[in-house]
Amino acid sequence: MVTELTDRVTYCGRIITFEGDASGSLRVREARYMTVEGGRIVEISNDRPSGDLVDYSDHVILPGFIDTHVHLPQLHERARISDSLLEWLERYIFPAEMRFSDPDYAEKVSREFFAELVSKGTTTAVVFSSSHEEATDVALRVAAETGLRAVIGQVLMDRNGPEELLTTPEEAGPSIRRLAERWHGYGGRLYYAVTPRFAVSCSMELMKTAGALAREMGLYVQTHLSEQVEEVETVRRLFPDVPTYTEVYDRAGLLGPRTLVAHAIHLSDRERRLLKRRGSSIAHCPSSNFFLHSGVMNLRRHLSFGLNVALGSDVAAGPFTSMLDVLRDAYYANFMRPEEAFYMLTMGGARALGMDDIIGSLERGKQADFVVVKPTTVSDSDDTTEVLSSLMILGGDVKATYVAGRRLWEAA
Ligand code: GUN
Ligand code: ZN
């Protein structure tokens, strides 16, 4: 149920927000009261303003979680173990995605998927749909009805997959155009991403078609990059004239500031420099990387090149829909202060989408996208770092999720 809150309302709780730059000057701000009007934050303070108050006193209020890499049609394929990415795709994922040729099934799973995400505090999601135009249209419609922010794209493949999931560059172009014309910018909350699955399943021609349309229509781009060594070797065989995996995407015109590449584990410094030059962001998916034994992404090295890193659940290779679970795995993969981890989860995601002026932190003038959480252990400590590390490692119960001031979900 979507609750419309257009009136002026003040929320009371332990409000914690993160600003600045993950590689350097990260600032944590705290406050007690946040006033929202017309979907935006109009005031943050420690003094109680007059007017209606929603009391979340025993809770932490954080900027909404941003999941920058997740696969809708894979919701029910989690925890299917396999000893390689390519085998896992063929055995479990492609058959699961084929079922999305049925729009009724696509609608059912889309409803479950977005309800699940908002119940876990995700307010913005960057989503791979299946290869089907109709199922993607359904996913966008259900996202609109759910009320969260989302960037969604129909998966593109024209080789190395089952016939039923393959398209052609001639078919893909008009399909992208129809979906993007209908949905890109819809309600100020939905956007379209051209979504070549990865270089293993796409010809250069298909990727060029996607890249050209992304530029022409100002769309996002999402894909997978350098997740497993076997995949990197396959790409080298498929594109023998291109020196690196990242340059395959660059030659296709897919790398720009609105591009999100997922995983980016087995990268050379040359590739890091190229991603930085293009302004593309990395969707770091630590839970998925652990689950499929893909490797550990070198976060410090990425950051030392000035790259923007955001977080993704990568369901279903990632077993968790909750970004707090993903945050814990990010910490296990690379030591991080909890402030830095939460920054990556919130502002990192907003920056990846070029939306850091409207979401990503709780500041006056920004959209009121926030999550109300009760940490699993209430430590006696009042210390911010200790509260955040408890949330990061032990998680918490999401009490309510708001997007643009509308309550999308509340615990019973
Ligand atoms: N590489 C290409 N497709 C996929 C996918 O669906 N999941 C993951 N984790 N990696 C991929
Ligand atoms: Zn993925």
Q: Any idea where the domains of the chain sit in the sequence? A: 3-62+363-410, 65-321
The ligand 1 site (C-beta within 6 Å) comprises: 71, 85, 89, 93, 197-198, 224, 227, 288, 314, 317
For the domain 3-62+363-410, what is the CATH code? 2.30.40.10
* DSSP helix, strand, coil percent of the chain (3-state; round to 5): 40, 25, 35
- How far is the CA of 275 from the CAs of 195, 197, 219, 280, 375, in angstroms? 18, 18, 18, 5, 36
Report the separation in Å between the CA atom of 71 and the middle of ligand 1, taken as the mean of its atom positions. 9
Report the separation in Å between the CA atom of 224 and the middle of ligand 1, taken as the mean of its atom positions. 7
Largest interatomic CA distance in the chain: 67
Per-residue pLDDT of the chain (412 residues; tens, 9 = 90+): 444 555 899 999 999 999 987 666 899 999 999 999 999 999 999 999 999 999 999 999 999 999 999 999 999 999 999 999 999 999 999 999 999 999 999 999 999 999 999 999 999 999 999 999 999 999 999 999 999 999 999 999 999 999 999 999 999 999 999 999 999 999 999 999 999 999 999 999 999 999 999 999 999 999 999 999 999 999 999 999 999 999 999 999 999 999 999 999 999 999 999 999 999 999 999 999 999 999 999 999 999 999 999 999 999 999 999 999 999 999 999 999 999 999 999 999 999 999 999 999 999 999 999 999 999 986 667 899 999 999 999 999 999 999 999 999 999 9
Nearest CA to ligand 1 atom 7: 317
- Specify the pLDDT at position 6: 59
- How far is the CA of 286 from the CAs of 107, 299, 331, 360, in angstroms? 29, 10, 9, 20
Structural contact between residues 165 and 97, judged by C-beta atoms closer than 8 angstroms: yes
**Amino acid of residue 149:** R
- Specify the pLDDT at position 3: 47
Torsion angle, alpha carbons of 372, 375, 376, 382, to 10:
-160
- Specify the pLDDT at position 377: 84
Q: What is the DSSP string of 84-139?
A: -HHHHIIIIIHHHHHGGGSHHHHHHHHHHHHHHHHHTTEEEEEEE--S-HHHHHHH
- Specify the pLDDT at position 382: 85
Angle, vertex CA 247, rays to CA 246 and CA 249, nearest 5: 70
Q: From the CB of residue 1, how many other CB atoms can be counted at a distance below 10 Å?
A: 7
Structural contact between residues 139 and 97, judged by C-beta atoms closer than 8 angstroms: no
65-321 CATH pick, 3.30.70.380, 3.30.70.580, 3.10.20.440, 3.20.20.140: 3.20.20.140
Instruction: Kindly state the tokens that stand for 242.
Output: 């291109």
3-state secondary structure of 341: helix
Nearest to 125 by CA among 399, 259, 311: 311
Residue 231 alpha carbon, nearest atom of ligand 1: 1
Cα–Cα distance, 229 to 234 (Å, whole number): 9
Sheet strand arrangement including 406-410: 40-45, 26-37, 9-20, 52-63, 370-375, 396-403, 406-410
CB-side exposure of 376: number of CA atoms within 13 Å?
10
Cα–Cα distance, 132 to 127 (Å, whole number): 14
Report the separation in Å between the CA atom of 371 and the middle of ligand 2, taken as the mean of its atom positions. 25
Q: Which residue has the tokens 């969260």?
A: 148
Q: What is the DSSP letter of 254?
A: -
pTM here is 0.98
Instruction: Kindly state the tokens that stand for 169.
Output: 């560059």
- The residues whose Cβ lies within 5 A of ligand 2, an ion, are 262, 314
Q: Does a cis peptide bond (omega within 30 degrees of 0) precede residue 212?
A: no
